[in-house]
Structure 1
Amino acid sequence: MTPVPLRTSPRTALHIDVTDSPLPVAEMIDWATVPECGAVVTFTGTVREYSVPLGGPSAGNVTAIEYETFATSAVSRMQEVAEAALDRWPQTRRIALVHRAGLVATGEAAVLVAVSAGHRTQAFLAAQFCIDVLKAAVPVWKLEHRQGQGTSWVETGNLITDVAVAAHEWEPYS
Protein backbone atom coordinates (compact mmCIF):
# COMPACT_ATOMS: atom_id res chain seq x y z
CA MET A 1 0.00 0.00 0.00
CA THR A 2 1.23 3.49 -0.78
CA PRO A 3 1.55 6.07 2.03
CA VAL A 4 -0.77 9.03 1.74
CA PRO A 5 0.96 12.37 2.42
CA LEU A 6 -1.70 14.69 3.76
CA ARG A 7 -2.02 18.30 4.95
CA THR A 8 1.44 19.03 3.71
CA SER A 9 2.71 22.59 4.00
CA PRO A 10 6.17 24.09 4.49
CA ARG A 11 5.68 23.85 8.28
CA THR A 12 3.35 20.89 8.85
CA ALA A 13 3.13 17.45 7.29
CA LEU A 14 1.31 14.19 7.92
CA HIS A 15 2.33 10.71 6.85
CA ILE A 16 -0.56 8.25 7.08
CA ASP A 17 -0.34 4.65 5.91
CA VAL A 18 -1.73 1.15 6.25
CA THR A 19 0.75 -1.43 5.05
CA ASP A 20 1.26 -5.17 4.91
CA SER A 21 5.05 -4.63 5.11
CA PRO A 22 7.16 -4.26 8.28
CA LEU A 23 6.84 -0.77 9.73
CA PRO A 24 9.58 1.72 8.76
CA VAL A 25 10.29 2.88 12.31
CA ALA A 26 13.74 4.43 11.70
CA GLU A 27 12.57 6.01 8.44
CA MET A 28 9.59 7.67 10.17
CA ILE A 29 11.80 8.99 12.98
CA ASP A 30 14.11 10.51 10.35
CA TRP A 31 11.11 11.96 8.49
CA ALA A 32 9.68 13.49 11.68
CA THR A 33 12.99 15.07 12.69
CA VAL A 34 13.07 18.66 11.47
CA PRO A 35 15.37 21.56 12.47
CA GLU A 36 12.72 23.70 14.17
CA CYS A 37 11.59 20.89 16.50
CA GLY A 38 13.37 20.02 19.71
CA ALA A 39 11.33 16.87 20.32
CA VAL A 40 10.43 13.75 18.38
CA VAL A 41 8.30 11.26 20.29
CA THR A 42 7.54 7.81 18.95
CA PHE A 43 5.28 5.03 20.07
CA THR A 44 5.60 1.57 18.59
CA GLY A 45 2.94 -0.96 19.51
CA THR A 46 4.14 -4.54 19.19
CA VAL A 47 2.37 -7.88 19.21
CA ARG A 48 2.77 -9.42 22.66
CA GLU A 49 2.57 -13.09 23.62
CA TYR A 50 -0.57 -12.76 25.74
CA SER A 51 -3.87 -10.93 25.71
CA VAL A 52 -6.44 -10.05 28.31
CA PRO A 53 -9.90 -10.89 26.96
CA LEU A 54 -12.81 -8.77 28.18
CA GLY A 55 -14.07 -10.22 31.44
CA GLY A 56 -11.63 -13.14 31.42
CA PRO A 57 -8.21 -14.20 32.57
CA SER A 58 -5.05 -13.56 30.60
CA ALA A 59 -4.77 -15.80 27.52
CA GLY A 60 -1.20 -16.79 26.64
CA ASN A 61 0.61 -18.42 23.75
CA VAL A 62 -0.19 -15.70 21.20
CA THR A 63 2.10 -16.31 18.20
CA ALA A 64 0.71 -13.62 15.89
CA ILE A 65 -2.15 -11.24 15.29
CA GLU A 66 -3.84 -10.88 11.95
CA TYR A 67 -4.98 -7.29 11.45
CA GLU A 68 -7.92 -6.72 9.13
CA THR A 69 -9.12 -3.35 7.92
CA PHE A 70 -10.47 -1.51 4.94
CA ALA A 71 -7.38 0.56 4.14
CA THR A 72 -9.25 3.51 2.65
CA SER A 73 -11.48 3.84 5.70
CA ALA A 74 -8.58 3.35 8.12
CA VAL A 75 -6.43 5.97 6.36
CA SER A 76 -9.32 8.44 6.38
CA ARG A 77 -9.86 7.94 10.11
CA MET A 78 -6.13 8.14 10.83
CA GLN A 79 -6.03 11.44 8.95
CA GLU A 80 -8.87 12.72 11.16
CA VAL A 81 -6.91 11.65 14.25
CA ALA A 82 -3.76 13.44 13.10
CA GLU A 83 -5.66 16.60 12.17
CA ALA A 84 -7.40 16.59 15.57
CA ALA A 85 -3.95 16.43 17.19
CA LEU A 86 -2.77 19.36 15.04
CA ASP A 87 -5.83 21.34 16.12
CA ARG A 88 -4.95 20.77 19.81
CA TRP A 89 -1.20 21.20 19.45
CA PRO A 90 -0.70 23.60 16.50
CA GLN A 91 3.04 23.80 17.14
CA THR A 92 3.29 20.16 16.07
CA ARG A 93 5.19 19.95 12.77
CA ARG A 94 5.06 16.31 11.71
CA ILE A 95 2.80 13.38 12.55
CA ALA A 96 3.23 9.87 11.18
CA LEU A 97 0.58 7.24 11.84
CA VAL A 98 1.28 3.84 10.28
CA HIS A 99 -0.61 0.60 10.96
CA ARG A 100 0.09 -2.93 9.80
CA ALA A 101 -2.44 -5.08 8.02
CA GLY A 102 -2.20 -8.84 7.64
CA LEU A 103 -0.32 -11.32 9.82
CA VAL A 104 2.12 -9.79 12.34
CA ALA A 105 4.24 -12.12 14.51
CA THR A 106 4.83 -11.73 18.23
CA GLY A 107 7.49 -9.08 18.85
CA GLU A 108 6.91 -7.27 15.55
CA ALA A 109 5.61 -3.70 15.32
CA ALA A 110 1.92 -3.38 14.52
CA VAL A 111 1.37 0.38 14.88
CA LEU A 112 3.66 3.40 14.83
CA VAL A 113 3.15 7.00 15.92
CA ALA A 114 5.88 9.60 15.41
CA VAL A 115 5.31 13.23 16.38
CA SER A 116 7.65 16.21 16.25
CA ALA A 117 7.04 19.50 18.01
CA GLY A 118 9.03 22.41 19.35
CA HIS A 119 8.98 21.07 22.91
CA ARG A 120 8.71 17.65 24.56
CA THR A 121 5.43 18.23 26.41
CA GLN A 122 3.51 18.97 23.22
CA ALA A 123 5.17 16.05 21.40
CA PHE A 124 4.41 13.58 24.21
CA LEU A 125 0.79 14.71 24.56
CA ALA A 126 0.16 14.72 20.82
CA ALA A 127 1.68 11.24 20.45
CA GLN A 128 -0.36 9.84 23.34
CA PHE A 129 -3.50 11.46 21.94
CA CYS A 130 -2.83 9.96 18.51
CA ILE A 131 -2.41 6.37 19.71
CA ASP A 132 -5.32 6.55 22.17
CA VAL A 133 -7.76 8.02 19.66
CA LEU A 134 -6.47 5.75 16.86
CA LYS A 135 -7.19 2.70 19.05
CA ALA A 136 -10.71 4.01 19.80
CA ALA A 137 -11.72 5.23 16.37
CA VAL A 138 -9.84 3.48 13.54
CA PRO A 139 -11.55 0.35 12.19
CA VAL A 140 -8.92 -2.35 12.63
CA TRP A 141 -9.92 -5.84 13.75
CA LYS A 142 -7.55 -8.33 15.39
CA LEU A 143 -7.57 -12.10 14.97
CA GLU A 144 -5.23 -13.66 17.52
CA HIS A 145 -3.33 -16.81 16.59
CA ARG A 146 -2.40 -19.00 19.59
CA GLN A 147 -0.03 -21.94 19.64
CA GLY A 148 -2.10 -25.11 19.85
CA GLN A 149 -5.35 -23.18 20.49
CA GLY A 150 -6.38 -21.90 17.08
CA THR A 151 -7.58 -18.34 16.54
CA SER A 152 -10.06 -15.95 18.11
CA TRP A 153 -11.18 -12.39 17.42
CA VAL A 154 -10.28 -9.70 19.93
CA GLU A 155 -13.56 -8.24 21.10
CA THR A 156 -12.38 -4.65 21.53
CA GLY A 157 -12.55 -4.18 17.74
CA ASN A 158 -16.32 -3.98 18.13
CA LEU A 159 -16.11 -0.80 20.21
CA ILE A 160 -15.04 1.58 17.42
CA THR A 161 -16.26 5.12 17.95
CA ASP A 162 -16.25 8.36 15.98
CA VAL A 163 -12.96 10.32 15.93
CA ALA A 164 -14.62 13.52 17.19
CA VAL A 165 -16.22 11.66 20.10
CA ALA A 166 -12.98 9.87 21.02
CA ALA A 167 -11.01 13.14 20.75
CA HIS A 168 -13.53 14.96 22.94
CA GLU A 169 -13.43 12.23 25.62
CA TRP A 170 -9.62 11.89 25.59
CA GLU A 171 -7.68 12.65 28.74
CA PRO A 172 -3.95 12.11 29.19
CA TYR A 173 -2.77 9.57 31.72
CA SER A 174 -1.68 11.16 34.94
Structure 2
Amino acid sequence: MPEISVRRANVADRSVLERLWLMFRHDLSEFRSVLPDSSGGFRDDRLRASFRDPDWAPYLVTSGESPVGMALVRGLNGSVRVLSEFFIVRGARRAGVGLSAAREVLARHPGSWEIAFQDDNAPAARFWRRLAADVSGTAWTEEKRPVPGRDDLPPDVWIRFQS
Protein backbone atom coordinates (compact mmCIF):
# COMPACT_ATOMS: atom_id res chain seq x y z
CA MET A 1 0.00 0.00 0.00
CA PRO A 2 1.31 3.46 -0.81
CA GLU A 3 2.06 5.69 2.17
CA ILE A 4 -0.76 8.14 2.73
CA SER A 5 -1.47 11.10 4.95
CA VAL A 6 -4.88 12.09 6.29
CA ARG A 7 -5.23 15.58 7.71
CA ARG A 8 -7.97 18.00 8.51
CA ALA A 9 -8.31 20.32 5.55
CA ASN A 10 -8.00 24.07 5.96
CA VAL A 11 -9.08 27.04 3.86
CA ALA A 12 -5.92 26.77 1.73
CA ASP A 13 -7.01 23.22 0.76
CA ARG A 14 -10.47 24.28 -0.33
CA SER A 15 -9.74 24.46 -4.07
CA VAL A 16 -8.22 20.96 -3.98
CA LEU A 17 -11.28 19.60 -2.18
CA GLU A 18 -13.53 21.36 -4.71
CA ARG A 19 -11.80 19.48 -7.55
CA LEU A 20 -12.00 16.18 -5.65
CA TRP A 21 -15.67 16.96 -4.98
CA LEU A 22 -16.38 17.18 -8.72
CA MET A 23 -14.80 13.75 -9.25
CA PHE A 24 -16.75 12.33 -6.30
CA ARG A 25 -20.06 13.71 -7.51
CA HIS A 26 -19.32 12.52 -11.06
CA ASP A 27 -18.76 8.97 -9.77
CA LEU A 28 -21.89 9.14 -7.62
CA SER A 29 -24.01 10.52 -10.48
CA GLU A 30 -24.13 6.99 -11.92
CA PHE A 31 -26.08 5.83 -8.87
CA ARG A 32 -28.07 9.01 -8.20
CA SER A 33 -29.20 9.94 -11.73
CA VAL A 34 -27.88 13.47 -11.23
CA LEU A 35 -26.52 15.62 -14.04
CA PRO A 36 -24.20 18.60 -13.68
CA ASP A 37 -25.76 22.05 -13.45
CA SER A 38 -25.47 24.61 -16.25
CA SER A 39 -21.95 25.58 -15.08
CA GLY A 40 -20.74 21.96 -15.27
CA GLY A 41 -20.68 21.56 -11.48
CA PHE A 42 -22.69 19.68 -8.92
CA ARG A 43 -24.47 20.79 -5.77
CA ASP A 44 -21.80 21.42 -3.13
CA ASP A 45 -23.69 22.53 -0.01
CA ARG A 46 -22.14 19.75 2.10
CA LEU A 47 -18.63 20.65 1.02
CA ARG A 48 -19.27 24.31 1.87
CA ALA A 49 -20.76 23.34 5.25
CA SER A 50 -17.67 21.32 6.10
CA PHE A 51 -15.55 24.49 6.02
CA ARG A 52 -17.89 26.80 7.92
CA ASP A 53 -19.97 24.69 10.32
CA PRO A 54 -18.22 23.64 13.59
CA ASP A 55 -20.30 20.43 13.55
CA TRP A 56 -18.46 19.34 10.37
CA ALA A 57 -14.85 18.46 9.51
CA PRO A 58 -13.28 18.16 6.04
CA TYR A 59 -10.30 15.84 5.54
CA LEU A 60 -7.75 15.66 2.73
CA VAL A 61 -6.03 12.38 1.86
CA THR A 62 -2.66 12.61 0.11
CA SER A 63 -0.04 10.22 -1.20
CA GLY A 64 3.22 12.11 -1.38
CA GLU A 65 2.37 15.44 -2.99
CA SER A 66 -0.73 14.12 -4.72
CA PRO A 67 -4.25 14.57 -3.36
CA VAL A 68 -5.91 11.17 -3.60
CA GLY A 69 -9.09 11.59 -1.61
CA MET A 70 -11.33 13.43 0.78
CA ALA A 71 -13.76 12.80 3.60
CA LEU A 72 -16.46 14.98 5.14
CA VAL A 73 -17.61 14.21 8.67
CA ARG A 74 -20.69 15.70 10.31
CA GLY A 75 -22.23 15.30 13.74
CA LEU A 76 -19.09 16.20 15.66
CA ASN A 77 -21.11 17.88 18.42
CA GLY A 78 -23.70 15.10 18.67
CA SER A 79 -23.76 11.54 19.87
CA VAL A 80 -23.44 10.03 16.37
CA ARG A 81 -20.88 11.01 13.73
CA VAL A 82 -21.73 10.57 10.06
CA LEU A 83 -19.13 9.94 7.40
CA SER A 84 -21.14 12.13 5.07
CA GLU A 85 -18.92 11.91 1.99
CA PHE A 86 -15.85 9.81 1.25
CA PHE A 87 -13.90 9.62 -1.98
CA ILE A 88 -10.66 8.07 -3.21
CA VAL A 89 -9.53 8.74 -6.79
CA ARG A 90 -9.69 5.73 -9.07
CA GLY A 91 -5.91 5.54 -9.49
CA ALA A 92 -5.50 4.93 -5.74
CA ARG A 93 -8.34 2.44 -5.26
CA ARG A 94 -7.92 -1.23 -4.44
CA ALA A 95 -4.52 -0.68 -2.87
CA GLY A 96 -5.65 -0.27 0.77
CA VAL A 97 -5.67 3.53 0.58
CA GLY A 98 -9.41 3.84 1.20
CA LEU A 99 -9.48 1.48 4.19
CA SER A 100 -6.47 3.15 5.73
CA ALA A 101 -7.88 6.64 5.21
CA ALA A 102 -11.33 5.71 6.52
CA ARG A 103 -9.84 4.08 9.64
CA GLU A 104 -7.78 7.22 10.27
CA VAL A 105 -10.82 9.49 10.00
CA LEU A 106 -12.84 7.24 12.33
CA ALA A 107 -9.99 7.14 14.86
CA ARG A 108 -9.98 10.94 15.08
CA HIS A 109 -13.59 10.93 16.28
CA PRO A 110 -14.18 7.84 18.43
CA GLY A 111 -17.75 6.86 19.20
CA SER A 112 -20.90 5.97 17.30
CA TRP A 113 -20.78 6.19 13.51
CA GLU A 114 -23.24 5.99 10.64
CA ILE A 115 -22.29 5.66 6.98
CA ALA A 116 -24.68 5.53 4.02
CA PHE A 117 -24.05 3.93 0.66
CA GLN A 118 -25.95 2.68 -2.35
CA ASP A 119 -26.42 -1.10 -2.59
CA ASP A 120 -26.26 -0.93 -6.39
CA ASN A 121 -22.71 0.45 -6.09
CA ALA A 122 -21.28 -3.03 -5.44
CA PRO A 123 -17.65 -1.99 -4.83
CA ALA A 124 -18.72 0.66 -2.31
CA ALA A 125 -21.11 -1.77 -0.60
CA ARG A 126 -18.29 -4.32 -0.16
CA PHE A 127 -15.91 -1.60 1.02
CA TRP A 128 -18.22 -0.18 3.73
CA ARG A 129 -19.30 -3.57 5.03
CA ARG A 130 -15.66 -4.63 5.23
CA LEU A 131 -14.75 -1.43 7.10
CA ALA A 132 -17.58 -1.92 9.61
CA ALA A 133 -16.48 -5.51 10.23
CA ASP A 134 -12.81 -4.50 10.53
CA VAL A 135 -13.57 -1.72 13.00
CA SER A 136 -16.25 -3.35 15.12
CA GLY A 137 -16.18 -7.09 14.42
CA THR A 138 -19.75 -8.35 14.39
CA ALA A 139 -21.11 -5.39 16.40
CA TRP A 140 -22.52 -3.39 13.50
CA THR A 141 -25.99 -3.00 12.08
CA GLU A 142 -27.40 -2.25 8.67
CA GLU A 143 -30.73 -0.76 7.62
CA LYS A 144 -32.29 0.71 4.49
CA ARG A 145 -33.63 4.27 4.60
CA PRO A 146 -35.43 6.22 1.88
CA VAL A 147 -33.46 8.96 0.14
CA PRO A 148 -35.10 12.24 1.25
CA GLY A 149 -36.95 13.90 -1.61
CA ARG A 150 -36.03 11.15 -4.10
CA ASP A 151 -38.82 8.58 -4.24
CA ASP A 152 -37.45 7.54 -7.65
CA LEU A 153 -34.28 6.10 -6.08
CA PRO A 154 -33.79 2.87 -4.18
CA PRO A 155 -33.23 3.41 -0.46
CA ASP A 156 -29.73 4.03 0.88
CA VAL A 157 -28.11 1.41 3.06
CA TRP A 158 -26.96 2.79 6.42
CA ILE A 159 -24.46 0.97 8.60
CA ARG A 160 -23.96 1.83 12.25
CA PHE A 161 -21.08 0.86 14.55
CA GLN A 162 -18.73 2.04 17.29
CA SER A 163 -15.14 3.02 16.60
Name the TM-score, length of structure 1 as normaliser.
0.29
Q: Which has the higher helix share?
A: 2
User: As a proportion of its length, which structure holds more strand?
Assistant: 1
TM-score normalised to the size of structure 2? Answer: 0.31
Larger Rg: 1
